[in-house]
């Protein structure tokens, strides 16, 4: 986030940059307190975390009764792209890679190669019409895109599915400057294939020509200890073997960090997933351990000199 001091520096040039940096540094110390804990022995520890930047392992029990053990992992990365000459414009980039979960007893493997959510946040939403001269019509939302590549799921010993690609044009109504909140909705298009597992063969193609609506919600507490997500999708999907079908899919999760080891957070989570195409509802409760986690920038583990 670019504060007033930095903005001043951008406008006034290098001479003011030093002053702005000093102001920003002072501000950083002031803000570090809520995110930096100090033990009775004077040691400092992180009290805020960035759940969007971590390499995690998870262990869960899935299914309602009886539960079956599942192991998983994921690499999550997120970052902002900002512009010096347009400080109120930010591209919020969120990536998830190699999101896998394996339940050996159930013979179930779910994996995702890549998911990206890109939101362009600007002070003014607008449409530009290519008239001469161009005209600008203002809109109260940010826009973005959702991309998913290589989503593999096993649904039964005989059936699996591979989501080759899914994309959606998003309208983000939350218009948050940070990545902590998102309330996005938009039409989605996808191509998925169903696979017979024994023997392995293509069974069906399912195509959504932007005839589904995707809803994506994300919320985090300011300290990153609580994370909630909801993603739902409903619409008409065309199948090669049976034509148009109404399908719904939804997944929701809630995560709470309960402790940290060496400043690496450990969280408990619960999630539930529903997919009408396979008449599937799966719920799970588990523990998530961050093998690597980026420190929240407000955390200051080095004592002040």
Partner 1 sequence: MKSVYAAVAAIGIALPAIAIADPPQSPTMDPDKPVHCQRDRTGEVWRIQCDDAKRVCLYAPDAELDADGNRVHPLERVRDCAEADGFDRDRLEKAGYQFVPGRADAPWGWSRDERGRVFQVNFDLHKRMYFGVGYAPQKIIENPLQSTRTSIDFGLLVLDLYDRGDTTRHRIRLLQGEVNMEPFSADVTLAHYDMSHRFTDPLFRVTTFFGEPARHDLHLNLGMFTEAGGLELRQTPYGNTELWKHATAQVTLDLWQSADLESFVRLRTGGILEGQSDPVNGYRSALTESTALDVDMTLDPAGFHNLRFELAHELPRYFTPYVPNVLVQRMRAKLQYEQIILAINDQPISLNFSAGGEKRNDIPGVPDQWAFVVDAGLRFSLWAPPHAR
Q: Would you count residue 200 as binding partner 1 (CB under 8 A)?
A: no
Q: Would you count residue 133 as binding partner 1 (CB under 8 A)?
A: yes
All residues at 6 or more sequence positions from 166 whose CB lies less than 8 Å from its CB, including other chains: 146, 147, 148, 149, 151, 188, 189, 190, 191, 192, 208
Residues 21-60 that bind partner 1 (CB under 8 A): none
Q: Would you count residue 124 as binding partner 1 (CB under 8 A)?
A: yes
- Say if residue 133 is preceded by a cis peptide, omega within 30 of 0: yes
The C-alpha angle 262, 179, 136, rounded to 5 degrees, equals: 165
- Chosen residue from 87, 111, 219, 232 binding partner 1 by CB under 8 A: 87
- Residue from 151, 146, 145, 147 nearest 164 by CA: 151
Q: Lay out the site mask for partner 1 across 218-257 (x = CB under 8 A, - = otherwise).
A: --------------------x-x-----------------
Q: How far is the CB of 127 from partner 1 (least distance, A)?
A: 5
- Residue from 130, 142, 229 nearest 180 by CA: 229
Span near partner 1 by CB under 8 A; candidates 19-27, 41-49, 159-167, 274-282? 159-167
Q: Would you count residue 149 as binding partner 1 (CB under 8 A)?
A: yes
The C-alpha angle 12, 121, 149, rounded to 5 degrees, equals: 135
Q: How far is the CB of 143 from partner 1 (least distance, A)?
A: 5
- Residue from 227, 283, 285 nearest 255 by CA: 227
- Chosen residue from 30, 40, 42, 137 binding partner 1 by CB under 8 A: 137
All residues at 6 or more sequence positions from 143 whose CB lies less than 8 Å from its CB, including other chains: 119, 120, 125, 169, 170, 171, 172
Closest to partner 1 by CB, 200 or 261: 200
Q: Would you count residue 122 as binding partner 1 (CB under 8 A)?
A: yes
Q: Would you count residue 125 as binding partner 1 (CB under 8 A)?
A: yes
**Binding-site residue total for partner 1 (CB under 8 A)?**
49
Q: How far is the CB of 276 from partner 1 (least distance, A)?
A: 20
H/E stretch holding 131: none
Span near partner 1 by CB under 8 A; candidates 80-88, 94-102, 218-226, 256-264? 80-88
Q: Would you count residue 207 as binding partner 1 (CB under 8 A)?
A: yes
Closest to partner 1 by CB, 191 or 274: 191
Q: Would you count residue 145 as binding partner 1 (CB under 8 A)?
A: yes
Give the gyration radius of the chain's Cα atoms: 23
Span near partner 1 by CB under 8 A; candidates 21-29, 97-105, 207-215, 216-224? 207-215
Q: How far is the CB of 96 from partner 1 (least distance, A)?
A: 15
E strands in the chain? 36-38, 44-46, 49-62, 68-82, 90-103, 108-121, 125-129, 135-139, 142-156, 159-172, 181-197, 200-220, 226-239, 243-261, 264-275, 280-295
Tell me phi and psi for residue 21, to 5 degrees: -60, -40
| Binding residues vs partner 1 (CB under 8 A) | 7, 11-13, 83, 85-89, 118, 120, 122-131, 133-139, 142-145, 147, 149, 164-165, 167, 169, 189, 191, 202, 205, 207-210, 238, 240
């Amino acid at each position: 986030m670019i504060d007033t001091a930095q903005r001043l520096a951008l406008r006034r040039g290098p001479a003011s940059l030093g002053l702005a940096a000093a102001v920003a540094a002072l501000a950083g110390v002031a803000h570090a307190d809520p995110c930096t804990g100090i033990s009775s022995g004077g040691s400092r520890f992180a009290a805020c975390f960035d759940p969007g930047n971590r390499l995690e392992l998870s262990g869960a029990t899935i299914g309602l009764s009886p539960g079956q053990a599942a192991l998983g992992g994921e690499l999550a990365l997120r970052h902002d792209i900002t512009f010096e000459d347009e400080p109120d414009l930010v591209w919020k980039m969120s990536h998830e890679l190699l999101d896998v979960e394996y339940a050996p007893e159930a013979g179930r493997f779910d994996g995702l190669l890549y998911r990206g959510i890109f939101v362009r946040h600007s002070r003014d939403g607008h449409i530009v019409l290519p008239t001469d001269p161009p005209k600008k019509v203002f809109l109260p939302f940010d826009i973005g895109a959702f991309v998913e590549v290589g989503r593999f799921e096993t649904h039964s010993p005989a059936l699996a599915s591979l989501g080759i690609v899914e994309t959606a044009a998003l309208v983000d109504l939350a218009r948050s400057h940070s990545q902590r909140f998102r309330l996005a909705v938009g039409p989605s298009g996808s191509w998925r294939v169903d696979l017979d597992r024994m023997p392995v063969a293509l069974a069906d193609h399912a195509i959504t020509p932007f005839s589904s609506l995707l809803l994506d919600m994300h919320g985090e507490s300011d300290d990153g200890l609580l994370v909630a997500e909801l993603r739902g999708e409903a619409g008409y999907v065309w199948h090669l073997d049976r034509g148009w079908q109404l399908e719904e899919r939804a997944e929701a999760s809630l995560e709470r960090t309960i402790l940290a080891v060496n400043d690496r957070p450990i969280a408990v989570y619960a999630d539930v997933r529903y997919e009408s195409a396979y008449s599937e509802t799966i719920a799970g409760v588990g523990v998530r351990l961050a093998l690597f986690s980026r420190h929240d920038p407000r955390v200051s583990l080095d004592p002040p000199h």
